[in-house]
Structure 1
Amino acid sequence: MTTATEQAESQGLLLQLLDPANRADPYRLAAQFREHGPLRLPEARLTVFSSYRDCDDVLRHPASASDRSKSALARAEVESQTQALTEAGVVLPPPVPPGFLFLDPPDHTRIRKLVSKAFAPRVVNALAPEITALVDGLLDQIAGKGRFDVVEDFAYPLPVAVICRLLGVPIEDEPQFNHASALLAQALDPFVAFTGSPSEGMEARMQAGTDLRAYLHGLIERRRSRPGDDLMSALIAVEESGDQLTEEEIVSTCVLLLVAGHETTVNLIGNAILAMLRQPSQWAALGGDAARAPAVIEETLRYDPPVQLIARFAADDMAAGGVEIAGGDVIILLLAAAHRDAAEFDRPDVFDPDRQVLRHLGFGRGAHYCLGAPLARLEAGAALSALTARFPRARLDGEPQYKANVTLRGLSTLTVTV
């Protein structure tokens, strides 16, 4: 039985996690979550895990679902929001299917199988020359200025150009989806699960989603008449075992890949740059040996993960971390805490690409393991090795600033002198 004092303490920790003031250093707070152990709010039907073993167990558990419709809280939230917006006179858009990341089998399996063709090793490796050329062009621009903003001048333009190339989205249309993408990334933050109500800006996020989908519907129409060598064209044409995707499913898939396909890689590149500049020996080591890039990337994914938490939903009654979880409950996995767990990692608060065992949950586990992991590794490896080699004397020129996002935590700006 959870006491009122324990409930208040748990709620306090959750509110601190949402507070943008803690975005620059969430790891002090992560340690408090680990010390607390599994955090339960029975009235909110919420359980939060923070140890590595517990998070790993939940990701592997057969009753751990990604479909929000299996959450009692999510269903109630949708009903409440629909009623509130209707009473306010807001015209609601028609319901649309979620991206496959938020589906469970068999729909997840069907759509992922189709999309995975665009991320096959042969396809990803074929992008290497284009990625190298993009990186070199960005570095040339930086060299001409003598200083640069990590996000605006480097970490953002590369993944956006690559995902646009993969999907078939014209890079000149980037301003049309940049703002929408940023708003939709905020929608992943667990405000409802933690507080019972959404954060401010819900209508703006809904409008951003509607606008982005409208843009993609228009692009699909152009691709129908003039298909190209890209994923959107392939999805339009595909038919496997007589099961063709609907246009709404194609749009949802493109929204997911457009947002997740660049937002997380931007954060990965930015976080790695910051970690190495704060530890100049690591910057110099990578600059002198590009073969160190994979270790730097994996340690960044552990030490300062671009995805700080993952939501799951109990499809049935289940047990994890010594806790009984009722079907329909929300489960939050704090990767930022799990990756600094001293029970699993030696000197967990130290950035050390040379540690003997490099592992993390940054790309998930099981059926929902990140489809774009090989591409993210390729992009980040090319970017970080070239940057450190080109500018061996780079140094920080100010403190990092962060976006407000809790889930997809990343830099908003960081100035570096080269």
Structure 2
Amino acid sequence: MNELAQTATTEPLFNPLSPDYIRNPYPSYERLRTTDPMHLTPFGAYVASRHAEVSLVLRDKRFGKDFVERSSRRYGPQIMEEPVFRNMRHWMLQQDPPDHTRLRGLVVKAFTARRVEDMRPRIQQVVDQTLDRIVDQGHMDLIEDFAFRLPVTIICDMLGIPEEHREVFYTGARNGGRLLDPVPLSRAEIDEGNTGNLMAQAYFQQLFELRRRSPGDDLTTQLVQAEEDGSKLSNEELTGNIILLFGAGHETTVNLIGNGLLALHRNPDQLALLNADPALIGNAVEEFLRYDSSVQMTGRVALEDIDDLGGKKIPKGESVLCLLGSANRDPAVYPDRPDRLDIQRPNVRPLSFGGGIHFCLGAQLARIEAEIAIATLLRRLPDLRLDDAENPEWRPTFVLRGLKTLPASW
């Protein structure tokens, strides 16, 4: 069946960096779900596209991250000497218990529902200030001028990054996403990753010094104090996880806001519905997450031989790539036209934040940021129109799905 499917379409079933895939991966996902739901790629990883297998792998203790082993299998053991890989190996996102448990335990308090809920007024203030600055221009790029500033400001607040240091973060390049893609990196891409990572490390070392001298009520201070304890956190772990928190704290939320606004403007009936009843925003954000997830994929490694996953044997050490974006549109879970945007859809429970022990720490924060950003934009600029909703420019990455620009006028 697999070979037939591939001949029929004359292209690989899973080709995540092709321009067509970047523009719209969903037809390919449907093909995977129906013809080969546990697809073995040419580079040796299994791709899970149905909700059942994806949700199982995310929660099953027989699967883990095994980052060092996985990266060494792909690139050779010398890859761990590259600064960016050496840094990533300490990310809690790439760790298995007990290290994962220890690292996550150090930061989880900053993301409790209570603390995040208390941030609503500050989030509203940032959104209003952002709009105040541009409302008279009549034109903006919704990504750079709007979606980007909010989560960057909030994560800077949380990490205790001083106001006078922030301009570089607002104008910084957003090209780290390629490091997470399932297609091996070229030498040039590894070099670029190293450069960006070493610059980030240099900045955060200065921030750690600052917070050792003058502690604040922020996450960096909290982690610096854990590092000084010695048993809780090494300097490499401190650096790696602050870089992770900074990136994860804004990248995906920028994409959620951008992808949500694009989806609304491509579906004017849904936009009209939300304008008529702003109380729908909470459910609308869940539907944006499901409909066009800002994280399309997450990976796990089999920690033991798996006899049967969707009809395939998965040998120990093999990677399983979980297509979150595909699982979110699986008709087995969303029988009512899963490819349609429906902000009133009942029981939306997207897998966009992952699952199991790696469930996204900032899920609630991202939801609230998107709710306030989108609701405020619709309220304050009711006649906003996208310059080109049909052919927007997507960023050339697959795992992190988001727009490069989204020009709009009012």
TM-score, with structure 2 as normaliser: 0.90
Q: Which residue of 1 aligns with 2:12?
A: 12
Q: Cα offset for 1:104?
A: 0.9
**Deviating more after overlay: 41-50 vs 128-137:** 41-50
Q: Cα offset for 1:281?
A: 3.1
Distance in 2 between the 1:376 and 1:333 partners? 21
Q: Cα offset for 1:149?
A: 1.1
Distance in 1 between the 2:167 and 2:294 partners? 23
Q: Which residue of 1 aligns with 2:65?
A: 66
Structure 2: stretches of 5+ with no match in the other structure? none
Change (3 A) 1:94 1:285: closer
Q: How does 1:88-127 map to 2 (within 5 A)?
A: 95-96=86-87, 97-127=89-119
Secondary structure at 1:408's aligned position in 2?
coil
Q: Which residue of 2 aligns with 1:210?
A: 198
Q: How does 1:34-45 map to 2 (within 5 A)?
A: 34-41=33-40, 44-45=43-44
Identity of aligned residues (%): 39
Secondary structure at 1:416's aligned position in 2?
strand
Q: How does 1:331-370 map to 2 (within 5 A)?
A: 331-345=320-334, 346-370=336-360
- The one-letter code sitting in structure 2 at the alignment partner of 1:32 is R
**Deviating more after overlay: 115-124 vs 33-42:** 33-42
Change (3 A) 1:95 1:408: closer
- The one-letter code sitting in structure 1 at the alignment partner of 2:19 is P
Equivalent pair of 1:150/1:413 in contact (CA under 8 Å): yes
- The one-letter code sitting in structure 1 at the alignment partner of 2:238 is I
Q: Which residue of 1 aligns with 2:52?
A: 53
CA offsets 1:281-325 (integer angstroms, 9 cap, x no match):
322333343321111110011000000111111111123212210
Equivalent pair of 1:284/1:388 in contact (CA under 8 Å): no
Change (3 A) 1:236 1:113: same
Change (3 A) 1:11 1:167: farther
**Partner residue of 1:79 out of 76, 79, 83:** 76
- The one-letter code sitting in structure 2 at the alignment partner of 1:49 is A
- The one-letter code sitting in structure 2 at the alignment partner of 1:264 is T
Q: How does 1:289-328 map to 2 (within 5 A)?
A: 289-318=277-306, 319-328=308-317
Secondary structure at 2:361's aligned position in 1?
coil
Query: Over aligned residue pairs, what C-alpha RMSD do you find?
Result: 2.8
Secondary structure at 2:321's aligned position in 1?
strand
Equivalent pair of 2:106/2:223 in contact (CA under 8 Å): yes
Structure 1: stretches of 5+ with no match in the other structure? 86-90
Change (3 A) 1:42 1:131: closer
2:220 aligned with 1:228, yes or no?
no
CA offsets 1:218-275 (integer angstroms, 9 cap, x no match):
2111111111111000111138998321121111111111111100000000111111
Distance in 2 between the 1:30 and 1:224 partners? 49
Equivalent pair of 2:294/2:400 in contact (CA under 8 Å): yes
Q: Cα offset for 1:3?
A: 7.2
Change (3 A) 1:36 1:241: farther
Q: How many residues align?
A: 405
Distance in 1 between the 2:10 and 2:309 partners? 19
2:146 aligned with 1:146, yes or no?
no
